Amino acid sequence: MSDDVKLLYNSFPKGESIMAKEKVILAYSGGLDTTAMIPWLKEKFDYDVVCCCVDCGQEEELDGLEERALACGASKLYIEDIVDEFCDDFVMPCVQAGAVYEHAYLLGTSMARPAIAKKLVEIARIENAVAICHGATGKGNDQIRFELGIKALAPDLKVIAPWRMTDVWTLQSREDEIEYCKSHGINLPFSMGKGYSRDRNLWHISHEGLELEDPSLAPNYDSLLVLSVTPQNAPDEVTDVTMTFEKGVPKSVNGKEMKVSDIIRVLNELGGRNGIGIIDIVENRVVGMKSRGVYETPGGTILMAAHDQLEELCLDRETMENKKKLASQLAQTVYEGKWFTPLREAIQAFVESTQQFVTGEVKFKLYKGNIIKNGTTSPYSLYNESLASFTTGDLYDHHDAEGFITLFGLPLKVRAMKLQETAKTNFTDKISGMVNEMQGHGKAR
């Protein structure tokens, strides 16, 4: 068990006999849904409810969870800080691969869910639990990501998804959940009003709901944004940034060496201030429907761009082309919750082999939503100035290009010659047919 695990126990009343109950691990966020699930799990299944909040960088969202979980009837709460593991083992493989879903989404929630599932299984083993419960809905991707992770790591554990259990989970609105909590002596300051549905971790924050449910409406950025400002509201001045990488992993920002999680924190601040990484996307969910959301990924957008900028120097064309194909496949694999699969491991192994020489320094400027290149250097750069310049040196002889083009274009030439031959034959046959037809008409007269 990690040192930063916080264990909070309820004390049993004196004289009360302690009956051993089966335990369920509840993936607990502190929000209304998972708060209502604590008494519900006890009432419907007679479980001993052990809450587990997995910290991937939710910041102030973790405030007050201890008191809330125990006050609502949980026997114990784990708060697991996995920020560094999340960044090193889940975020960086996707950054190195260049994995982006549908050309825009940087997989913030998709990468976090398998990391959370892994920790939930670990806690379930510690507690000898028989089940894991999550608060994902029956329409979203997260139910798939949580449950595929659990199946891959602990196939013997039961999974409880209340929002899909409509026969016993009869709470269909925030009002229903608040009244349910009150009826069980839980009076917490949850709002009746509907707000944005958000998911936050160190990598990003997502927004869904309200005006975003209508694709014809523009996002209300003034009330929506949390990490960023819009490009219009960004400063009218350039922010210069220098980053270094070693084997595809970021090592420093503006001369200061840091671990990956701290680099992302710094880039979040720089990117957020300059309006970087705000996307409005209608994406295709795994379950078959389209959904619209706004994502803020300021630091992640910068990190991905800086890594790409360095790879341009260090990777050869064929490796780059195949890496891009696998990046798309990895993005879909991760989006679909298939992190703990041989396919993800195989793609990651390929990507890691490409990163051995992705080392160097990247400079760029941030300005009103833009990331502008400002120079790149690497000891493993494949860019050769004498080759690239018009006055080439001994490595390149212009005369060699003639033979290369002859061979490189040979399939095109052979095809064109065949088309010409076919066209000539068809023309001859057509003329011959016309002559025969005219001769036939003459005999008829």
Phi and psi at residue 253, in whole multiples of 5°? -130, 125
Residue of 55, 81, 142, 199 marked active site: 142
CA angle (63, 135, 5) in 5-degree steps: 45
The residue with tokens 């609105």 is 173
Give the span between the Cα atoms of 123 and 296, in whole angstroms: 31
Dmax of the chain from CA atoms? 125
Residue of 55, 110, 113, 206 marked active site: 113
CB 323 within 8 A of CB 95: no
Strands 278-284 and 290-296: antiparallel
CB 186 within 8 A of CB 32: no
Residue of 88, 89, 197, 285 marked active site: 197
Type of residue numbered 345:
E
Residue of 29, 33, 68, 265 marked active site: 33
Task: Tell me the residue ranges of DSSP E strands in 286-407.
Answer: 290-296, 360-367, 370-377
- Residue 429, Ramachandran bin (φ over 0: left; ψ between -120 and 50: alpha; else beta): alpha
Can 400 be counted among the known catalytic residues?
no
State whether the Cα torsion 336-340-342-347 is positive or negative: positive
Type of residue numbered 323:
K
The residue with tokens 């990247």 is 362
Can 113 be counted among the known catalytic residues?
yes
Structure tokens that stand for 373 in this block: 């290149």
Can 55 be counted among the known catalytic residues?
no
Type of residue numbered 166:
T
CB 78 within 8 A of CB 52: yes
Give the span between the Cα atoms of 365 and 243, in whole angstroms: 11
Contacting residues for 131 by C-beta, under 8 A, at least 6 apart: 22, 23, 24, 25, 47, 157, 158, 159, 160
Phi and psi at residue 162, in whole multiples of 5°? -55, -40
Strand partners, 363: 242
Contacting residues for 334 by C-beta, under 8 A, at least 6 apart: 94, 99, 101, 107, 110, 111, 114, 344
Q: Minimal CA–CA distance to 105: which of 285, 233, 372, 225?
A: 285
Can 378 be counted among the known catalytic residues?
no
Question: Which positions are annotated as active-site residues?
Answer: 33, 113, 142, 197
